Amino acid sequence: MKIKFNTLLVALISFFTLVSCHDDLNQTPIDPDSTTEEDVFANASQAKGALAKLYASLALTGQQGPAGQPDISGIDEGFSQFSRMLFNLNELTTDQAIVGWGDPGLPDLHGLSWSSGNDFTEAMYYRLAQEVSFTNSFISNAELLADEEVNQFIAEARFLRAFAYYNLMDLYGNVPLTTEISTDLPQQASREEIFNFVEEELLEIEDQLADSGANEYGRVDRVAAWALLSRLYLNAESFIGTPRYNDAVTYSEKAINSSYSINTTDANGNGSAYDELFLADNNTNGAQKEFIFTLNFDGIQSQTFGGTTFLVHAAVGGTMNPAEFGINGGWAGNRTTEAFVNKFVKTNAELNANIGPVSDWGIIGDSTPNGWADPDTDMYESASNVYKIFTELTEGELKFRKNDDWAENFGGENGNLISDGDNIAVETTGRVVITLNLNDNTYAIQSIYESLPDARAMFYTDGQTLEINDVATFEEGLTVTKFRNIDSNGNPGSDSTGDFVDTDLPIIRLAEMYLNYAEATLRGGGGNASRAVNLINELRERAYGNNSVNITSGDLDLQFVLDERSRELYWEGQRRTDLIRYEQFTTNQYLWPFKGGVQDGVSAPTYRRLFPIPNDLLTINPNLTQNDGY
């Protein structure tokens, strides 16, 4: 499949039918057949319409809704959307996601075995190059307008260009650096040159952007520049070999001290304020005060098969009810791995230690750890005449016994105990919590993944196995229910067909700044260790609803922060970058299912930290050199 980048020429107009990502950016559509470049940049109002296209090109894929006039041809238009590509390259390549679809090149991403001609790595390069081209053209034309408001538009365009280059540097390393429209073939810049450019741009524009929280929702302000600088500096040692952790602390703190705040509004009343961040009304339900930079979606006005439409639909299948997610059907593709799920779960020994004292009651049977042989597996007393145990069960049967003796035992069925009754058939296997209640003569066997105390653990377990043997089988691997097209009142999104999703996608949110501050402090960035602990605990209190799992300074180390980032930010497009920074992406220091294409996981060559430059570009431009290993 050959992917072609439909190049933007001198004017933006040849592509413009401007449709906003959000109501407050709505502009009158411009007819590309009757509009000139001078018309688009005739005044500030018209220039704002052109600015909307710069934001839209990250959220949408072309000029005609979800399909029809793509900016990038040669690949399914939905596949080419920016945040969908970000998921594929930064999440699907890690422990946090796996997909059952067999589209050529897609399974290779999780297996860390992509080729230099992979359609998905090429599409992302072209998508980001398009954003650079659009922003260069906008800046060149807008600079001709002597208008203070337009100067702010230019600063926003420069932020979007810096953001595109940040991602190009992260994903591809050495890429051409172009800031002007030219027909000359560009030279390849080093990763350090790209890093310096992004840094200089963000530092130059911070005072030209709107004050914190003063811009329209969906448009960036100076806090976005600080936040991207925080992310840039945190990864500086990984990107260019030079630590910048002091700067990471500085700019994380600037963002933390801004008008943005962690969402604590439990708008839907389910006991957690975390899920509001990913509901269909997250632009109004309180979550928006945490969002520093978002891609905005509307099921009617901005339709795409990427974005949150992809994140919701692709994770629904099996026995899941699509209506509970505000959609008309699932695409049965994306799940997650056991390695990630277990980030939310302590060991059975740790869980059992918190139940209560060892009791006289235990379990026995061929599904239990000790089988039918003595001794029984002890249960723990959680309340008067109530006993629990966290353990692992296989297919088979079990019974409850007292004092390892048959004199007093219970069998049963359907959750009801029967004294000396038939063996209980085990239907729920794997890691479970078993409850024996002698007050009302009932029992329960539940997967521990059904009711994890951390509200961020959003998984669907019914009919799904934790372990994955066949990647193509959707029912293998738990599914992620983090994103929904349901608002805080339980209503589905605006698209009555259920095809397209309203939920906005946070690209940078304040919680990341908390985590950046903590990590940079631990890496010697000069931050306050006590404050780092308090910031982490603020996130954990939101996740658990109380301070019962707050940490102390003795708990806070780099591995803890990495795991906390995983729990807080999963499926938000950062995991690969995090694992590379921790030397865990390609090494055998951390293995996950099907890493390197092997079920138990293996290491991969170091060159897999970067994706290949598209082959077509190498053919066209002799100034470019392919990344090592490809």
Q: At residue 4, does pLDDT exceed 70?
A: no
Q: What is the pLDDT of residue 30?
A: 38
| Residue limits of CATH 2.60.40.3620 in the chain | 346-447
pLDDT, tens digit (0-9, with 9 covering 90-100), for 331-379: 999 999 999 999 999 899 999 999 999 999 999 999 999 999 989 999 9
Reply yes or no: is the peptide bond before residue 492 cis, omega within 30 of 0. no
Name the residue with tokens 């180390």.
557
Which residue, among 568, 468, 517, 516, has the nearest Cα to 263 in the 3D structure?
Answer: 568
Q: What is the mean pLDDT of residues 170-189?
A: 95
Q: If you average pLDDT over every residue of the chain, what do you get?
A: 93
pLDDT, tens digit (0-9, with 9 covering 90-100), for 49-108: 999 999 999 999 887 777 777 778 777 888 899 999 999 999 999 999 999 999 999 999
Q: What is the pLDDT of residue 147?
A: 85
Q: Which residue has the higher pLDDT, 10 or 252?
A: 252
Between CA 72 and CA 60 the distance in angstroms is 11
Q: At residue 270, does pLDDT exceed 60?
A: yes
Tokens representing 517? 């501050």
Spell out where 346-404 has E strands: 358-364, 377-383, 386-393, 396-402
At the top level of CATH, which class does the domain 346-447 belong to? mainly beta
Q: What is the pLDDT of residue 3?
A: 38
Q: How far apart, in Å, are the Cα atoms of 462 and each of 320, 450, 455, 478, 520?
A: 8, 9, 18, 9, 40
* Banded pLDDT at 617 (limits 50, 70, 90): very high
Q: Which residue has the higher pLDDT, 507 or 25?
A: 507
Q: What is the pLDDT of residue 32?
A: 37
Dihedrals φ, ψ of 395, to 5°? -60, 140
C-beta of residue 47 within 8 angstroms of C-beta of residue 156: no
| Residue limits of CATH 1.25.40.390 in the chain | 1-190+569-630
Which residue, among 165, 173, 171, has the nearest Cα to 135 in the 3D structure?
Answer: 165
Q: At residue 397, does pLDDT exceed 60?
A: yes
Q: At residue 16, does pLDDT exceed 70?
A: no
Q: Give the count of beta carbons closer than 10 Å to the beta carbon of residue 1.
A: 12
601 residue type, one letter: G
Any idea what the Cα angle at residue 611 is, between residues 606 and 617, rounded to 5°?
135
* Banded pLDDT at 9 (limits 50, 70, 90): very low
Between CA 66 and CA 60 the distance in angstroms is 8
Q: Which residue has the higher pLDDT, 292 or 27?
A: 292
* Banded pLDDT at 183 (limits 50, 70, 90): confident
Q: What is the pLDDT of residue 22?
A: 29
Q: At residue 146, does pLDDT exceed 90?
A: no
C-beta of residue 431 within 8 angstroms of C-beta of residue 447: yes
Q: What is the pLDDT of residue 619?
A: 96
Q: What is the pLDDT of residue 2?
A: 34
Q: At residue 303, does pLDDT exceed 90?
A: yes
C-beta of residue 321 within 8 angstroms of C-beta of residue 328: no
Q: What is the pLDDT of residue 42?
A: 80
Q: What is the pLDDT of residue 97?
A: 99
Q: What is the pLDDT of residue 31?
A: 39
Between CA 239 and CA 170 the distance in angstroms is 7
- pTM for this one? 0.90
Q: At residue 511, does pLDDT exceed 90?
A: yes
Q: What is the mean pLDDT of residues 450-454?
A: 87
Fold of 1-190+569-630: 1.25.40
Q: What is the pLDDT of residue 10?
A: 27
Burial tier of 358 (Cβ tally within 10 Å: 0-12, 13-18, 19+): middle
pLDDT, tens digit (0-9, with 9 covering 90-100), for 205-241: 999 999 999 999 999 999 999 999 999 999 999 999 9
